[in-house]
Structure 1
């Protein structure tokens, strides 16, 4: 079944902006829920309300689609299309007011990502891509950095803050920090779209979920970022991204440590 992906992107951009506006408006009155997988895996009532807003609108437009969503509003469908939704990637930053967060929505046809939107509510920035159509920031084309030498590069690091992954990330940072220009810890979706915009020269994400990286990965790829993992394909266990000129040097270091 064919679908107008540009029209879908326009609708999803509006949805992501609406969810982001809700998050800004309710930040002072949010209520925390019980932690999910571990003590640092936090969730608020705003996460849940944002996901409900997004999922309800998607199902109103495409009632037969599958939805995979972080906060439990997923469902099966028979259309062959799947939405992957993270309504608030970076909840710890959001609730503690210590950094950025984003709204992430991706559309798959079978196993192929076809359209993606990542919206930064605080920065009023919307990153988007359609498969084969390039990557955009607030409607303007964007592209990857030229790729400085490894020793001058700025690299994003993202990871799930459970005990096992924190230990793994500590080893990676010990190996990586002395050989790169500097690192930034940042939620996975923004890590990827900042690479797409040329703000980061490369990035690493460890032990994510699909909803953390699905949207950002398509946007990064469309901007010219090289993506991979322990092999040529990236995964939720290990995602490496870099400007093409930096890829070999960064990937070698990350694979040896991660």
Structure 2
């Protein structure tokens, strides 16, 4: 038995994501950037760490038996069978350089099954969220992916890790995809998926992500009617392809051929 009120879990995740987003806005002018992590483009700031601590501390206080998997290392094992997956600041390069959007991402799993998801975009003050089986919302209002544009007119989101191997892979995908699509937008993975859920993007591709990059966005997208897949039927952190149902066959076929 799950033994948890999913609405309460959702509401706490929304509250914490908004609080973390407010902290990020308040501290943007005084942030300190630390040493790169996995590679030169994998940056982290003291605001990432403070945001994660805020979220982890509150979830641990509410559900101390739950496991937490968090990007900046504040996770811990649990005994309940549930796991919170947290990216406190998805899009750190955008945040630091002031060149694009970023978000706060919180997802709850029971085993391998996603239950709750929140993606909050601080600058726009927009919160995308979902509880499994109940649909997706944007600031509390239902949202659906209903685009019927063909690939030649479609706006496609593209997300990828900026390490040398993945950049080369993304180059192959874009070389094949861009001439055949309406246009592309490069975005952090969570917002790529959330924007598909809201119908702002017709489809999207995420390459070589981590679970915390896509966990929340994927549930929100699916609950909004986005078709998700990967190298085969299921999407993976290696390859996540999303699209409105009418676009899915054409987009997935083209991306799989080059990814």
Partner of 1:253: 254
Partner of 1:193: 194
Deviation at 1:147, TM superposition (A): 2.4
Partner of 2:16: 15
The within-5 A match list for 1:196-211 is 196-211=197-212
CA distance in 2: counterparts of 1:4 and 1:117, whole angstroms: 16
Residues 145 and 199 of structure 1 are in contact (CA less than 8 Å); yes or no, is this contact kept in structure 2? no
SS in 2 for 1:22: helix
Deviation at 1:3, TM superposition (A): 1.2
CA distance in 1: counterparts of 2:100 and 2:146, whole angstroms: 23
CA distance in 1: counterparts of 2:35 and 2:129, whole angstroms: 32
CA distance in 2: counterparts of 1:49 and 1:63, whole angstroms: 20
User: 1:175-227 deviations in whole A, cap 9, x for unaligned?
Assistant: 00000000000000000000000000000000000000000000000000000
- TM-score (ref. length: structure 1): 0.99
Deviation at 1:7, TM superposition (A): 1.2
Partner of 1:215: 216
Partner of 1:68: 69
Partner of 1:105: 106
CA distance in 2: counterparts of 1:13 and 1:86, whole angstroms: 14
Point out the more displaced range, 143-152 or 219-228.
143-152
Deviation at 1:104, TM superposition (A): 0.1
Aligned residues: 258
CA distance in 2: counterparts of 1:55 and 1:213, whole angstroms: 18
CA distance in 1: counterparts of 2:99 and 2:147, whole angstroms: 30
Give the unaligned 5+ runs of structure 1. none
Deviation at 1:146, TM superposition (A): 2.1
Residues 68 and 82 of structure 1 are in contact (CA less than 8 Å); yes or no, is this contact kept in structure 2? yes
SS in 2 for 1:174: helix
Does residue 52 of structure 1 match 2:53?
yes
SS in 1 for 2:145: coil
CA distance in 2: counterparts of 1:169 and 1:150, whole angstroms: 18
User: 1:43-102 deviations in whole A, cap 9, x for unaligned?
Assistant: 000000000000000000000100000000010000000000000000000000000000
